[in-house]
Structure 1
Amino acid sequence: KSCCKSLSNKLKLIAKEVKGSTGYKLCHRNEIRALLKSFGTPALFLTLNPCDVHHPLVGILGGLLPEAWQAMSLYEHSVFVANNPAAAAQFFHVMMTHFLQIIA
């Protein structure tokens, strides 16, 4: 029994680098616990997801007039964003910069 437990612990140690494995999850769980002990529990979690497919700023950054963006379908918006990754990246940067200015 102790031999199996010892082998299991060794496998967890080896598997901590394999994403999705029990060892990986355990390693990251322990890391989160250590951070909580050091810094305390977080007061607020935010998940930001600026929707580049719907926002006209992406079209403007990609060289379109706002009227042209409004005339496009959702599918055309998606194709435009896929073909203009620089405009999508600029849009994301602008949104995050403004968000951080607001909360700071």
Structure 2
Amino acid sequence: MENHNVCSNDAIGFRNIDVKTHITHIFQSGPNRRFQTHLSFIFVMGNILQRRQTSFNARLAVKKSWFPRVNALLEKISDSTVESYTEKLKKNSFARPETEGEKAAADLINYVNYVAEHVPGSMAEIQSMREEMFSIVNTDGLPHIFLTLNPTDTNNPIAQVIAGRDVDLDKFFDDLKPGSENLERSTFISQNPVAAAEFFDISVKNLLE
């Protein structure tokens, strides 16, 4: 009851926060870095974000010359046909269409292209990056220097601090464990991929600035 009263009080100034911002906040300020080191949380959240972006930004593209054919096929497909045919394909991906609606749905796939915008890792994003690179080359010419940045996170004390290790940066090399220090540093980084990404971001920004 108390929580309900608080949430319904407009004077407090609550505001809606999107999922990506909330996840970023959890990663950066979670208690004891438990979300950063969780074995599956980062993958589950990444999958959820990708599914949301796929659902919200997905489009179906059809060639103009195919409009009459596609329109005729859509008229033969009902909601129940889509649901039943989907369940059939889930059980057997090689299932053959039987009803007229299922045959129309199977035929429709040949005319419709799935286009997803701003979805990480999608072919649309890769194509967009290629087009951006081609535009830069056409505008500014070919690059003269190719540089690959690869800051070593396992040998940098700053990365260890970001990963949550209690390290005195002023005495970092005073108390090393012979033969096991490299393994310990690698273990800390491998258990916290968020810290490794944050260290890479900091290193690249400082270098470019």
Where does residue 76 of structure 1 map in the other structure? 184
- Name the structure where helix makes up a greater proportion of residues: 1
Alpha-carbon offset, residue 100 of structure 1: 6.0
Unaligned runs of 5+ in 1: none
In structure 2, distance between residues paired with 1:30 and 1:100 = 24
- Residues 69, 77 of structure 1: 8 Å contact kept: no
2:141 is matched by which residue type in structure 1? Answer: G
Residue 146 of structure 2 corresponds to residue 41 of structure 1: no
- Residues 17, 24 of structure 1: 8 Å contact kept: yes
Where does residue 67 of structure 1 map in the other structure? 174
Alpha-carbon offset, residue 34 of structure 1: 0.8
Alpha-carbon offset, residue 48 of structure 1: 1.6
Q: How many residues end up aligned between the 2 structures?
A: 87
Any idea what the Cα deviations from partners look like across 1:35-74, whole Å, max 9, x if unmatched? 111111111221222213235xx18x73144132363612
After the TM superposition, which residues 1-104 of structure 1 pair with which residues of structure 2 at under 5 Å, given as runs? 2-3=65-66, 7-8=112-113, 11-12=114-115, 15-55=116-156, 58=157, 62-63=167-168, 64-69=171-176, 71=178, 73=180, 74-79=182-187, 89=199, 93=203, 97=206
Unaligned runs of 5+ in 2: 1-62, 71-109, 162-166
In structure 2, distance between residues paired with 1:24 and 1:80 = 32
* Structure 1 residues 48 and 26, CA gap change in structure 2 (3 angstroms): closer
Alpha-carbon offset, residue 32 of structure 1: 1.2
* Structure 1 residues 72 and 53, CA gap change in structure 2 (3 angstroms): farther
* Structure 1 residues 34 and 71, CA gap change in structure 2 (3 angstroms): same
Highest Rg: 1 or 2? 2
2:149 is matched by which residue type in structure 1? Answer: L
* Structure 1 residues 43 and 20, CA gap change in structure 2 (3 angstroms): same
Q: Normalized against structure 1, the TM-score is what?
A: 0.53
